[in-house]
């Protein structure tokens, strides 16, 4: 069952007024206000040749313990003004719309997502979003090594092991790019929720013209296959993810003077809606993990 996105749940939490009890035996009362339902859009369009997917749902009560209501019967399409890609609702998966065939986007083109609802939400039937596909790094190869952590950093123990990857490929310098990095271990995506996404700037972390290094704290073993998928994202998407991470990581302390985090603002227009339509240029690379610790120990014994 698909989990409720954190930005939906935590944004709805801002509508609630909570009664907080100070005694251990005192029952805490929750006065939950009603908020109008909103459309939630999740999906992306990339340079990968595949069937792309858009998911439509509606917001629900914060305490719901089941899948949020799906929006069915909608007309969904993506266009760059020249070519239009039609989407169809996937049989057996309500609210999930896939492109009718495998398609791909092109760098430099702007793509508009159009959604026409069969039944209006708050009297709105037409929603849309628009983003430009930004040219990004073209990965050619990759190396991956295991190292012992030399510093106590980020809460990691001294004897922990981290993965160091070297990625090779030209990175365009004409624009200031943001990159979302997905890491896979033996083909399985790690950190698979949006509040765990890692986004880097080509002016800070990914600043090499051809060679860049990335560190990961996830557990790997020698012989595992490490893969990275690097996607360009817009500045507004980077801010959207950062807002979600701030919401997800809030302490929940009612006496926190910093106040509640700001809502995550997406790019869906036409009515009150939540979510984001992301357009990305994608490149991938993979490598078999080598144990640099064993190499270092062998050199020490020579």
Q: Three-state secondary structure along 67-85? A: CCCECCCCEEEEECCCCEE
Distance, C-alpha 298 to centroid of its chain: 41
pLDDT by residue (tens digit) across 218-263?
889 999 999 999 999 999 999 999 888 887 776 445 445 444 555 6
User: CB-based burial of residue 17 (10 Å sphere; 0-12 exposed, 13-18 middle, 19+ buried)?
Assistant: exposed
pLDDT for 294 equals 54
Q: Residue 292: pLDDT band by 50, 70, 90 thresholds?
A: confident
Both structure tokens of 252: 């929940």
Mean pLDDT check: name the lowest of 50-54, 94-98, 163-167, 191-195.
191-195
Query: What is the pLDDT at residue 257?
Result: 47
Angstrom CA distances, 155 to 80, 86, 125, 149, 159, stand at 46, 47, 48, 11, 12
Structural domains of the chain in order of their starting residue, each with its CATH number: 6-134+233-280 (no CATH), 141-232+283-293 (2.60.40)
Residues 249 and 194 sit within 8 Å (Cβ to Cβ): no
**Residue 23 above 50 pLDDT?**
no
Q: What is the pLDDT of residue 295?
A: 52
Average pLDDT value over all residues in the chain? 80
pLDDT of residue 233: 95
Average pLDDT over residues 60-80: 82
Of the pLDDT bands very low, low, confident and very high (cuts 50, 70, 90), residue 119 is very high
Residue 10, pLDDT above cutoff 50: no
pLDDT at position 74: 97
16: Cβ–Cβ under 8 A, 6 or more apart, which residues? 30, 31, 32, 33, 62
> Which of 76, 132, 140 lies closest to 105, judged by CA?
132
Q: At 58, give phi and psi (nearest 5°).
A: -125, 150
Q: Which of the two residues, 156 and 131, has the higher pLDDT score?
A: 131
DSSP state of 57: E
pTM of structure: 0.79
């Amino acid at each position: 069952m698909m989990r409720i996105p954190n930005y939906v749940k935590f944004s709805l939490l801002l509508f609630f007024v909570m009664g907080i009890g100070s005694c251990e035996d005192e029952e805490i009362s929750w006065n939950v206000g009603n908020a109008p339902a909103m459309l939630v859009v999740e999906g992306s369009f990339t340079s990968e040749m595949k069937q792309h997917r858009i998911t439509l749902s509606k917001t629900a009560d914060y305490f719901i313990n089941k899948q949020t209501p799906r929006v069915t019967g909608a007309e969904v399409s993506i266009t760059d003004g020249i070519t239009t890609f039609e989407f169809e609702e996937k049989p057996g998966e309500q609210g999930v719309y896939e492109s009718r065939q495998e398609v791909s986007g092109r760098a430099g083109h702007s793509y508009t997502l159009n959604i026409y609802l069969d039944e209006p939400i708050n009297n709105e039937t037409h929603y849309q979003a628009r983003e430009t596909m930004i040219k990004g790094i073209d990965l050619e190869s990759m190396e991956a090594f295991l190292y012992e952590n030399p510093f106590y950093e980020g809460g990691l123990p001294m004897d922990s092991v981290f993965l160091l990857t070297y990625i090779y490929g030209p990175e365009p310098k004409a624009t200031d790019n943001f990159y979302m990095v997905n890491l896979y271990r033996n083909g399985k995506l790690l950190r698979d929720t949006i509040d765990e996404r890692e986004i880097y700037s080509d002016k800070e972390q990914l600043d090499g013209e051809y060679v860049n290094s990335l560190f990961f704290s996830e557990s790997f073993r020698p012989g595992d296959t490490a893969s990275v998928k690097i996607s360009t994202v817009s500045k507004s998407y980077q801010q959207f993810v950062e807002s979600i991470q701030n919401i997800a990581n809030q302490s929940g302390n009612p006496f926190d003077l910093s106040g509640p985090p700001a809502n995550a603002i997406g790019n869906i227009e036409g009515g009150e809606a939540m979510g984001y339509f992301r357009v990305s240029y994608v490149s991938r690379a993979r490598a078999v993990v080598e144990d640099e610790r064993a190499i270092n120990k062998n050199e020490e014994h020579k």
